[in-house]
Amino acid sequence: MPDQALVATVAGAVDVMDGLMQPRPLTIAHILERAERLYAHKHVTTAGTERHTYVDVVQHARRLATVLDSLDVPVGARVATFASNNRRHLELYLAVPATKRVLHTINIRLSSEHLEYIVNHAEDDVVFVDRRLLPRIRPILDRMPRVRHWVVLPDGSPTDIRPDPRILDYDELLSGADPFAGSFEDTFVLADENLASGLCYTSGTTGRPKGVLYSHRSTVLHCLGTLAAGLIGLRESDVVMPIVPFFHANAWGLPYGAMMAGASLVLPGHSAEPAHLLQLMQTERVTVAGAVPTVWSSLVPQLREYDLSATRFLLGGGSAVPPTLSETYRAALGVPITHSWGMTEVSPVGAIGGTRTQHEQATPEERVAVRAAQGQPLPLVNVRIVDVDTGRELPRDGHAVGELQVSGPWVASGYFRVGADESYTDDGWLRTGDLATIDADGYLRLVDRIKDLIKSGGEWISSVELETAIASHPDVAEVAVIARPDPRWTERPVAYVVLREGSGGTADELLQHITPMVAKWWLPDDIVFLAALPKTGTGKLSKSSLRESMRMG
């Protein structure tokens, strides 16, 4: 049987056969060519003003491929983007990995120090920058000497581009290039599916940012996960709007997912103004949109002024979606915000919330509680909870609380130029740093970040549960609970609250409101009112900044 590979992977097994299936790799090149062949007529709209078909976008990507060759960008080199969600950025999403370079998406809200660190650490060869963001780059250009080319993406802004041999223009490069006429997919062999395709640094609220290096295989499998019906379920009839930035953990897989499914894409461009986003959702009849809770929250005041009747699915992630926020959307649009649990290390989507058939008979209140959970893992993803001290796996009974760990073919095994560090277990699972329960139906419920738990008198207080209780008061716009060192109790909770404009809640009122909801000894020692809470570069609440300012007094 010379046609069958013989492998012996099982101890004590006889010779075992491989299946006789075609050795076709899973590649982003397939996503590109599938969109070109099946969905040429579908649209990519940027900011409501620019409209291209998929065949246009792919033709640009084919030109970009030869541009990268002519710039002598080596295969495997990192090609970075510093850009908003726009059509040219999508072309980079396609052409860079389809030509076996690595797409490094950089957070445009990073500090100059972090930006410089990340570009140098990634050893980016070329960086593509939105024209309006060039002023962020120019002052530190000389501190990133390995970058050979800075390519400006025209974005309608009049930002001055002073002549500099290092700075090139995207549209000029493309108009001077022939499109690659062959099949990208045919240039890949099976082993290539493991090639690095993308690089994204974690936001690094503690310590140095660390790079997650995705492969073609992981990206395509994650993409199939976003297509699975009944979960996110991207489909041809969708109009998908990633409000979540392209640099925020691959925009949760929405760009590749939409293209593989054949859905049209609506890209908001650089503006995150509520009126702009809502207008786009109305005009383009967006069916699926994804954004962090703070963005969803920002749209609430104007939600009923727009016709959002095309909406099918709203995705929330990055941090927990407050049930009150989700319910506000459900009341206004008939569509709740479905929580998607993920991490940069998980490509990012690991689990999808929402109700299932077993909740059909549940009361409305019970269904709200189900929707507040992080949900069930996607196909191919496994989750477990382990005792933080002993590392022993805990039961899936909905009660035991342990560190959430995750494994699967789109979960990282280490970090770029670092490898597997303390974030990974000996058996190769990712430690999430989240405390969670898992119930008998496989539903995850995050209890808290391990480092955000408050240890008071030898017992634990969940900052998240306190926040949820406080956020249920109608006057509260945002809330964060952190630990204050306490000589007697070790730590005690303190709440930082932003009130809604025009409302006048007091600390006493809030304490009264939550008293029936939590144990008496959980009541915060202090409620501090702020005009705004500190955020990280991806718009997440930064508890480390709050702790810092508390420490500074």
Instruction: Name which of 156 and 409 has its Cβ closer to a copy of itself.
Output: 409
Q: Which residue do the tokens 């930064």 mark? A: 542
Residue type, 339: H
Cα–Cα dist 210/193, whole Å: 23
In this chain, which of 382, 503, 512, 549 binds a copy of itself, going by CB under 8 A?
Answer: 382
Per-residue x/- marks for a copy of itself, 210-229, CB under 8 A? --xxxxxxx-xx--xx-xxx
User: What minimum distance in Å lies between the beta carbon of 442 and a copy of itself?
Assistant: 4
Instruction: Name which of 152 and 346 has its Cβ closer to a copy of itself.
Output: 346
Q: Which residue do the tokens 């008496």 mark? A: 520
Tell me which DSSP letter residue 85 carries. Answer: B
CA dist list (Å): 151 to 47, 103, 131, 173, 186: 21, 14, 9, 9, 28
In this chain, which of 103, 260, 401, 518 binds a copy of itself, going by CB under 8 A?
Answer: 260
- Establish if 157 lies at the interface with a copy of itself (CB under 8 A): no
Binders of a copy of itself among residues 342 to 381 (CB under 8 A) are 356-358, 376-377, 379-380
Instruction: Name which of 68 and 494 has its Cβ closer to a copy of itself.
Output: 68
- Cα 33 to the center of its chain, rounded Å: 25
In this chain, which of 236, 387, 526, 548 binds a copy of itself, going by CB under 8 A?
Answer: 236
Cα–Cα dist 391/410, whole Å: 23
Instruction: Name which of 408 and 505 has its Cβ closer to a copy of itself.
Output: 408
- Establish if 116 lies at the interface with a copy of itself (CB under 8 A): no
Binders of a copy of itself among residues 159 to 198 (CB under 8 A) are 185, 187, 189, 191-192, 194-198
Label the pairing between strands 78-82 and 124-130: parallel
Instruction: Name which of 128 and 424 has its Cβ closer to a copy of itself.
Output: 424
**Upper half-sphere CA count for residue 194 (Cβ side, 13 Å):** 3
Binders of a copy of itself among residues 312 to 341 (CB under 8 A) are none
Tell me which DSSP letter residue 188 carries. Answer: -
CA dist list (Å): 380 to 225, 292, 350, 376: 8, 25, 9, 11
Instruction: Name which of 53 and 282 has its Cβ closer to a copy of itself.
Output: 53
**Cis omega (within 30 of 0) on the bond before 255?**
no
Q: Which residues belong to the active site?
A: 202, 345, 455, 460
Cα–Cα dist 373/375, whole Å: 5
Binders of a copy of itself among residues 402 to 431 (CB under 8 A) are 407-420, 428, 430
Instruction: Name which of 86 and 218 has its Cβ closer to a copy of itself.
Output: 218
User: What minimum distance in Å lies between the beta carbon of 417 and a copy of itself?
Assistant: 6
Of 44-52, 136-144, 157-165, 209-217: span binding a copy of itself (CB under 8 A)? 209-217
User: What minimum distance in Å lies between the beta carbon of 20 and a copy of itself?
Assistant: 4
Instruction: Name which of 304 and 399 has its Cβ closer to a copy of itself.
Output: 399
Cα–Cα dist 63/83, whole Å: 19
User: What minimum distance in Å lies between the beta carbon of 81 and a copy of itself?
Assistant: 18
Q: Is the dihedral of CA 157, 161, 167, 173 positive or negative?
A: positive
Q: Is the dihedral of CA 228, 360, 384, 338 positive or negative?
A: positive
Binders of a copy of itself among residues 430 to 459 (CB under 8 A) are 430, 440-442
What are the tokens at 404? 């959430």
Binders of a copy of itself among residues 86 to 115 (CB under 8 A) are 100, 102
User: What minimum distance in Å lies between the beta carbon of 256 and a copy of itself?
Assistant: 11
Per-residue x/- marks for a copy of itself, 280-299, CB under 8 A? --------------------
In this chain, which of 145, 158, 163, 230 binds a copy of itself, going by CB under 8 A?
Answer: 230
Q: What residues contact 97, with CB distance under 8 A and at least 6 apart?
A: 27, 28, 29, 103, 197, 198, 216, 219
User: What minimum distance in Å lies between the beta carbon of 79 and a copy of itself?
Assistant: 13
Cα–Cα dist 286/284, whole Å: 5
Instruction: Name which of 342 and 377 has its Cβ closer to a copy of itself.
Output: 377
Binders of a copy of itself among residues 13 to 72 (CB under 8 A) are 13-26, 30, 34, 37-41
User: What minimum distance in Å lies between the beta carbon of 522 and a copy of itself?
Assistant: 32
CB atoms within 10 A of CB 230: 9
Task: Let me know: does 348 contact 253? Beta carbons within 8 Å.
Answer: yes
At residue 372's C-alpha, the angle toward residues 370 and 375, to 5°, is 65
User: What minimum distance in Å lies between the beta carbon of 260 and a copy of itself?
Assistant: 6
